[in-house]
Amino acid sequence: MLPKWFNDWNRERPTDIYGPAILVGGLGAAVIVAIALVNFGQPFKTESMQTGPRGTGMSVPEFVVEVKKADPTLEEYYTEEVYVPEGGEALAKDVYQNVQVLGDLTEDNFNRVMNAITSWVAPEEGCAYCHGDVDIEEYGKDDLYTKVVARSMIQMTQSINEGWDGHVNANGEVGVNCYTCHRGQNVPSDIWFKVGNVTEATAGWAAVQNRATSLSQYTSLPSDALEKYFLDYEQISVHDLEAHVAESPAEDGVRTWQDAERTFSLMNYVSNSLGVNCNFCHNSRAFYDPEQVTPQWSTEQLGISMVQEINADWLVPLEDVYPENRLGPVFADAPKAACKTCHKGYQQPLQGMNMIADWPELATTGAPVYE
C-alpha cells in the first residue's frame, strides 16, 4: 500500500522517523505555495510595456514598485511661472552689459531665468559661480570660464529644443533645460572622457578591451564605443551575417567581429542608460532587420545623432576654455555627453516632466512664446 521508497526507508532506518515527514512536508508546502501563486498572483507584481506584436516576446517588464518609484531628483527641481510681457518693459540687453544671449528678454524674465539656472547648476555657490564675488555692476565681465561655458550651454539647450523635437518630444512635449543634465550639480553626472588603451601590455584592438571600465559598463567589452560612435561618427554595425564570405577586414566597409563587440558595448550602455532591455528597440528574433524594429528604435537613432552633434558642435569646442582640472585625465579632452547624461537610468529624463513648460526662453533661439 505504501510507496517502495517509504518501505525501504523504514527497513534501512527504523529509528529515523523525521526524514520522510520533512520530505513529504516540504513537498506539500511547495505545492501549496504554487497553488497560492496561481490563484492569487505573484507577490512582486510587474508591469510590461508592449513594444511589438503580442506573442513575440517584445515587451519590457518592470517591477511595479520600480515603475512607480519617483526619480529622487524631481524634488529638487526649481521652476517659476513666466512674466507675460505687456509691452514697453525694459530689455535685459539695455539694462545690463555684455548680454550676448537672452538679451531680448524683459528684465524680469531675464532675472527669472538667471535665478533658475543658478538653482539648477550652482545652488550652493549662487551667482558667484559664473560672475565671481564682485559687485553686480561687474557681472558683464567674462573673467570666469564658467560664465563663458554657461552662455554656450544656454545656446546648446535652445538648439536641442529647436532642432531635435523628434527625439526630445517623441512622447509629448518635454524638452530639456539645464536641470535635465545638471540636477543641482556644477558638473553633470555621467559625462565621459576618452580613456585610450586600458591594457598596457598590448596594442591595437586588444588594448581597448578585457578590463572593466565605466565606459564599458564594467564588462570586458571594448571601452572605446562611446568615442567611436558618439565622437568619430563610425557606423554602428556587426559582422557579416553570411558565413565564409570572401572579404578582408582591410577593405573599406567590411564589418568585423571587433565591430560587433564594440556595438554590443554601445547597446549595453544604451540599455543601462534608459533602464530598458533590448526589446525596447529591437525584435529579438531579428536584431539585424530594420523593418522589424519598434518605434522606439527611430527615436533612439535620432538620439544618437543628437548626441553626436552636441559633442561635435558644443562640447568639444570648449576644450580650450576649460581649466586643466576640468579636462580628461588621460588625453586632457573636454567633457562629453551621451545617453546617460540626461536619462540617468530612466526611459524619459525626469520621468517625462515637461522641462520647458515654464521656460519658453530656452525652447527656441528666436523670440519666446508666452502664454
- Cβ neighbour number for residue 88 with a 10 Å cutoff: 6
Q: Which residue has the cell 543628437?
A: 306
Beta bridge partners of 336: 192
Asked if 273 and 299 touch (Cβ cutoff 8 Å), the reply is no
Q: Which residue has the cell 492569487?
A: 40
pTM here is: 0.83
Greatest extent of the chain over all pairs of C-alpha atoms, in Å: 104
Q: Is 33 exposed, middle or buried (0-12, 13-18, 19+ CB in 10 A)?
A: exposed
Closest of 365, 22, 343, 326 to residue 167, by C-alpha? 343
Give the 3-state secondary structure of residue 234: coil
- Whole-number pLDDT of residue 360: 96
Q: Which pLDDT tens digit goes with each residue over 23-61?
A: 777 888 888 887 776 666 666 666 666 777 666 667 777
Q: Which residue has the cell 565606459?
A: 215
Task: Extract the C-alpha cell encoding 314.
Answer: 558644443
Q: Which pLDDT tens digit goes with each residue over 60-96?
A: 776 655 556 788 999 999 999 999 999 889 999 999 9
Q: What DSSP string runs through 167-233?
A: HHTTTSS----HHHHHTT-SS-TT-B-----S-TT--GGGGGSSS--GGGTTSSS-TTHHHHHHTS-
Per domain, the residue ranges of the chain are: 4-43
- Whole-number pLDDT of residue 68: 61
Helix 145-163 with 107-121: angle, nearest 10 deg: 100
Q: Which residue has the cell 535685459?
A: 92
Degrees to nearest 5, angle at CA 130 with 128 and 134: 45
Q: What DSSP string runs through 122-185?
A: -TTTTTHHHH-SS-GGGTT---SHHHHHHHHHHHHHHHHHHH-HHHHTTTSS----HHHHHTT-
| Count of positions (residues) in the chain | 371
Asked if 154 and 362 touch (Cβ cutoff 8 Å), the reply is yes
Beta bridge partners of 106: 91
Per-residue pLDDT of the chain (371 residues; tens, 9 = 90+): 667 776 776 777 766 666 667 777 788 888 888 777 666 666 666 666 677 766 666 777 766 555 567 889 999 999 999 999 998 899 999 999 999 999 999 999 999 999 999 999 999 999 999 999 999 899 999 999 999 999 999 999 999 999 999 999 988 899 999 999 999 999 999 999 999 898 888 888 889 988 889 999 999 999 999 999 999 999 998 878 788 888 887 888 888 888 899 999 999 999 999 998 888 898 888 888 888 888 899 999 999 999 999 999 999 999 999 999 999 999 999 999 999 999 999 999 999 999 999 999 999 998 898 87
CA distance 193 to 188: 13
